[in-house]
Structure 1
Amino acid sequence: MVAVLVLNAGSSSLKYQVVEPDGTRHLKGLVERVDESGFPAALARMTAELEEAGLSRESLAAVGHRVVHGGPDFSDPVLITDDVLTAIADLARFAPLHNPPAVEGIRAAREEFPDVPHAAVFDTAFFTTLPPASATYAIDAGVAAEHGIKRYGAHGTSHRFVSAAAAAFAGRPLDGLRQIVLHLGNGASVAALRSGRPMDTSMGLTPLEGLVMGTRAGDLDPGVLLHLLRAGLSVSELDELLQHRSGLQGLAGRHDMRDLTAAMAAGDPTAQLAYEVYVHRLRKYIGAYFAALGGVDQVVFTGGVGEHQASVRGAALDGLSAMGLAVDPARNDQPPEGPREISPAGAPVQVLVVPTDEELEIAREVVALLPR
């Protein structure tokens, strides 16, 4: 058995799975309200569950940690040393909500499992090969270089897994395949891929850019922020606005798409507008990436919203039939089980729903790091 304990440490939760590279799962769980007791207590609870499931520490080949931002320092998964951990902590300047809890989770896990290799897998790593024209912001080059300002992307682990899984499901080689992958959850991003390599992606220096999200606005004129600063808002107030009081939450007071669509059905005009803004942004990016790729072979939906909200998928592609993009209503309404095609039979562009599996992808990347 080559089992990897995959940990995803959030600000108030710890998600974990024990998974093998072939997809075999031995345990899956979630510890919530971590902020009240800290990660050492959360890991102690998790370890007790491992033992109850008959999994010893010696049965683990490694511990894999999801880390959102690798900045300019990390372009690949890496075995964690003290220096690596310090670097991840320093990169909190790019992801202040995400990297600090990851660091605390890593510290606690290294104490709990001191004799097991630990590895970090970065959400940004997949996008380190973005073409310069996609990765470069049009600001003073010296300022950008001094502060590490470029497009780093996010959700890279998901985009990597889903793009390969979509090609395999369709029985098509990745080589030459043009894909638009939409990872739609509370956080959301879209990537344009050719031959399994990223050509562009919606998230930027931080996970704030791009699509409308649960609590984040996505694309926003930077002049709005300057205007609000001049109006007296502090940096911390702007951070709170952008991270927690924007997106669907800011527009309609609801960050969950299920709650939003229920409010729409009840006739709430603010929910209707929020939904229309959300879908409009999706269409804009799909059209832009169709152009950037010079056409597309597959459009793939994944993530909680992408996998389960048929209405969002249909609305995102509505009116794009001239580009060969359409969904078959009956196929689109199928129960959300496994990979499936939802485009009409014989459509020039395949539209797929492919469940993501970031934990499996992390496990595979971690095992590839281990000595043979």
Structure 2
Amino acid sequence: MDIDALRAETPATADMIHFNNAGASLMPTPVYLAMSAHLALEQSVGGYEAEDTNASQLAAFYTEFAGLLNADPGEIAYVENATRAWDMAFYGLPLKEGDRILTHASEYVSNYLAFLQLKQRRGVEIDLVPSDATGQIDVEAIAGLITPRTRVIAITHVPTQGGLVNPVEEVGRVAREHGLIYVLDACQSVGQIDLDVERIGCDVLSGTGRKYLRGPRGTGFLYMRRALADRTDPPFIDLRAATWSRDDGYDWAPGARRFENWERFMAGQIGLGAAVAYARAVGLPAIEARVAEISGALRAALSDIPGVTLQDQGARKSGIVTFTKDGQSASAIYEALKAQRMNVSVALTTSARLDMVPRGLTDGLTRASVHYFNTGEEVEKFAEAVAQL
């Protein structure tokens, strides 16, 4: 992997170390140019005309994601963000009173809030799968929690806190064996891990453009297996999602298109498609290996600092590196590093109460999330700054 060439296509501030790629990754120049060209066209000829002119680029969004995920283009939807994509799928599932959802303590806050809302609205029940000794979901425990009313297992691939990578393929085998709908939040994993929905066995997978895919903010995507999509009733509907085919009825758009809106950010769709094409050109296996290498170097450097504790969990670790330092809150660390032009982020207990509170992480976690364009020199400078806090 030519890191220098990739960095050259990332016009970042030269003296800033960007370790916040899980939150808002740096956009490659080709992605920016694809978006700005479309916006310039909208300025010159108008939105509808620009859409017609760039129809092939808009269509490429679906084929690029299909190639990225090993899916059919008809199983891909463009949605405004990852949470809305997940919501459109989850709230459309035919869950009723007494049905049960399996999840894990590492589940993302917005997803768990949706579980709680459906518990209040429809009387569904939530069952928490315990963690194994490493902190990841205990695959062996899942089968013992499945009841005749269990309908869904929903987990997050790479949680926002803790750095772990949940064993999603093993979970998929259990879900298929028991006929469960398998919903996977891949917001933090898409773009840093080579994903294959057939290998994983998930029925739903959602994600964002702005993180490891290095696409524009305000963009997201949804994959839903066609067999499930064709029997799912989305919570919202418009003329993109369905056709008003008779006075008293309508016909859904086939596959995942029923989850889309007619009015959407076209430049964002083009930009996200370009980001996927960029990632595929770099190569997801190469990206995955590089992220593992540079995050491993960061963990090793931080572990040598007195008073610093790595807080990552799981048998396998992601590019999200989390740590605490004695006597320092995560917010204080964030501010101190920001003053030195080092870009990190903070995870608070409000993002993962069921995980962080039992672990005693009430002051939060510092997240130093690396991507393939980060360097060993940046790791050394960052560790030195943390040591001197």
Whether the TM-score (by the shorter chain) exceeds 0.5 is no
Greater RCO, 1 or 2 (C-alpha within 8 Å, sep 6+): 2
Q: TM-score, normalised by structure 1?
A: 0.28
